[in-house]
Chains A and B, each alone.
Chain A
Amino acid sequence: MKNIAIIGSGAGGLITSSKLSKDLSKEIKNGEVTITLFDKKREQEFQPGYLEVAFRGTDPSKIRRPVKKLVSPGVKMVYDNVEKVDLANRYVKTEGSSEKINFDYVIISTGSSPDYDQIDGLKQANMDFHTDAYNASLIYNRISSIKSGKIVVGIGGLPYKCPPSPNESAFMLHEHFRKKGIRDDVEIIYVTPFTRIYSAESINEVIEPMYERRDIESITAFNTDTVDAEKKEITSLEGETLKYDYLFLTPPHKPAGFLKGSDMSDEDGWVKVDKKDLHITTYDNGFAIGDTTNIPISKAGVEAHLEGIVVANNIVGEITGTGQKYKFTGRTQCSMETGFHKATFVVGTYDRPVEKIEPSTMNYMEKKVMEKIYWGSLHGHYEWLFKYHFKKDYFEE
């Protein structure tokens, strides 16, 4: 009997569990394998949809689904959060329970979430589109009433989820106020700790002229330190101050709480993994995928997806004895909406720098197709399409 524990029912956990349950269906039926998915959440949200909720007023309920409809047959769902993973002794414990639940393999896919504690005053002053759909909807309520003033958006701290999203917020705000005919009355300022508007030079070359043409001011190398909600003022680590009327900064993110201080994590709690086969450093039966890891690439769903496929393949190879071993290529595929039905993509791998891709309507349509197939893709319905699309970047043999 082999017990596989998967922690986290986000995109990574669901895709990995669906791949495992399909490829090991015979073993599950014969009682040779169990797959258990742990997460307290009863609903999941399509996180890239937060931008649409925040800046176009999409109803939050449209991007939510009950977890029970997303879990594939053959996977046992446990609606509890894990608070301890003991890799050496191969068991997990859920919150408030003393029961040791044994595993042969564990996959940690607990994601990341905004960490407001890193920046004094930010919580009181800011509205973000990274926490959840409800909070994103509050931004739309706010911008709907704005007639004039100074909006500051951008990157509040590192790391954060979905690298293009702060830029997208600037573009979508521009579109929103342009369509309302009051763009000239609204100042949009983008701040970033990087030295370019987009950290990768190739994409920066594409979007920097768009910022200029659209009169979106950018302040680079700005390291947000504190925010004063009463004075409506941000202060950088270097002591520069910036006034705002409305603040929609992307906060720095943190991993799940139980990971901080664990011997498998770095000092900030991100799990240390081999960047190609995703096993947790020094343990061959433990893996981490997606935002949870310390891999220095985008924290985004596509990473969790492709990493989950690699891990699932390799576990299936061990259990069935085929010995198949795949490696993650580091492929990124982050869409960046540039407004007015156009988008670009941030595409690269560990071995290939980010490509220069001009915004186009075709890219925007591709982004929209991804939104349409997202829920089905969690069940593995479109894996053939991803394999075709990513080609040699899908995984390395």
Chain B
Amino acid sequence: MTTLNVDSRGTACPGPITDLIRAYKKAQNGDLIVLVANDPGAVPDSKAWCERTRNEFVGSKEIENSFEITIRVTGKKA
């Protein structure tokens, strides 16, 4: 299992979700993607994206004016 750290601070929609999708393309099932963004829209967008792609939205927390969003990759075909 690998953790992919994605820093999207300073970018607004669709920056964070674009970065998330690009990281997802390189990830494998079981990997974690940790997305850090200061766009508040990144949290609901990531949640909606996880629901649609059957990946797991592990959670989000606020750290120093940013949101740290953790996603477990589970949706990729075997």
Contacts and interface: CB of A to CB of B under 8 A. Distances in A.
Interface string A248-268: 000000000000000000001
A207 B18 CA distance: 20
B5 interface: no
Contacts of A237: 24-25, 53, 75-77
B22 A223 contact: no
Q: Which 8 A-B pairs have the closest CB atoms?
A: A239-B77, A221-B52, A199-B14, A296-B15, A296-B11, A195-B48, A238-B75, A193-B21
Contacts of B49: 195, 221
Interface residues on B, range: 20 to 34
A353 B54 CA distance: 28
Interface residues of A, number: 27
A223 B21 contact: yes
B19 interface: yes
Given A237-B75, A238-B77, A199 B21 contact: no
Interface in B41-73: 41, 45, 48-49, 52-54
Nearest to A193: B21
10 contacts: A157-B25, A159-B18, A195-B52, A199-B14, A223-B21, A238-B76, A268-B22, A296-B8, A296-B18, A350-B12
A223 B24 CA distance: 10
Interface string A212-237: 00000000110101000000000111
Nearest to A155: B21
A237 B52 CA distance: 12
B33 interface: no
Nearest to B75: A238
Contacts of A225: 77
